[in-house]
Amino acid sequence: MNIGDPAKPYFLDVDTGSDLTWLQCDAPCQSCNKVPHPLYRPVQNKLVPCADSLCTALHSGLGRNNKCSSPKQCDYRIKYTDSASSQGVLIADNFSLPLSKSSNIRPSLTFGCGYDQQVGKNGAKPAPTDGLLGLGRGSVSLLSQLKQKGITKNVLGHCLSTNGGGFLFFGDGIVPTSGVTWVPMARSTSGNYYSPGSGTLYFDRRSLGLKPMEVVFDSGSTYTYFTAEPYQAVVSALKGSLSKSFKQVSDPDLLLCWKGQKAFKSVFDVKKDFKSLSLSFATGKNAVMEIPPENYLVVTKSGNVCLGILDAAAAKLSFSIIGDITMQDQMVIYDNEKAQLGWMRGPCSRSAKSAMSSSP
């Protein structure tokens, strides 16, 4: 995204699992990771004061240890589930946003200027992004701010391609009018997450005989996580269904991996050897999310195929997460206007513009 005056480019991690957008920031920086672009440089008169309603909302969402060190500024500290964290102050600056009608707007939006970042367990060094794009349900989320300013509806969608790339949109301009599976948004018991409610897991169209599990959609999570029982059930079902030509091996990248007669190049080499999973949501009408093998498997640098679903309990999570691996080649839509979540299979390698022209 292009931020500032004059606008400079920054790469942001698209995260529907948290609210605050932040950039690594030369305020000066106490602890910053090596990032793709020069650090954002804040200007004193762009500080958001402590009394600002977005500061109050952010603090109430983050809990007790967030308070202001002076009335002139809004301090924050956020910890993420992988124990990464960002500490900084709120700032308001212009975002240059392309509208679908090919003009640009430059609203002033509030975000975090992070001068102390700690990398989490899975953090890459150097970091591939300059900061994070918070698209959760809270009022400090960029989407809520755009809605507040009357710029777009409170709707967003993303389409991540299996080949890398994809697109992200705000507003309901390219939401397809048919073909989308919709479920009402549930109140997540674990926080203010986007949740389609409880889902029942099937393997190869057969029920695994498990209680439904609470599910959350989180684009900030690379992998998908299942709570303990469903995770163990999937592992057993997979092991029981694989042919003898797959041998279990250890791989530095993931926990459960197999090698074949020769190294695999992509998940499409093994698609026919693995069965599909699916999640059925009772709240929607025939609401099923198909999870074919390419939406839960990873082929590693070593040419092994690994399970891209991890154990939520080991990650200290009390709910299941549908992460990026399972969202690939599906348009996923978070509609806060109608309080519903939707998904629709399709290639995400096309641009948003071609998606627009094919939807009425």
Q: How wide is the angle at C-alpha 180 spanned by C-alphas 178 and 183, nearest 5°?
A: 130
Residues forming a β-bridge with 155: 335
Burial group, residue 225, by CB count within 10 angstroms (0-12, 13-18, 19+): buried
* Unique residue bearing structure tokens 């109608």: 338
Helical (H) or strand (E) element with 184: strand 181-184
In the 3-class helix/strand/coil scheme, how is 209-254 assigned residue by residue? CCCCEEEEECCCCCCEEECHHHHHHHHHHHHHHCCCCCEEECCCCC
Rounded to whole angstroms, the Cα distance separating 202 from 210 reads 9
In the set 15, 19, 251, 324, the catalytic residue is 15
The half-sphere exposure of 149 on its side-chain side, counting CA atoms within 13 A, is 14
Q: What φ, ψ does residue 31 adopt, rounded to 5°?
A: -150, 100
The answer to whether the beta carbons of residues 354 and 166 sit under 8 Å apart is no
**15 is annotated as an active-site residue:** yes
In the set 130, 218, 251, 324, the catalytic residue is 218
- In 36-165, where does DSSP find H-type helix? 53-62, 142-148
Residues noted as catalytic: 15, 218
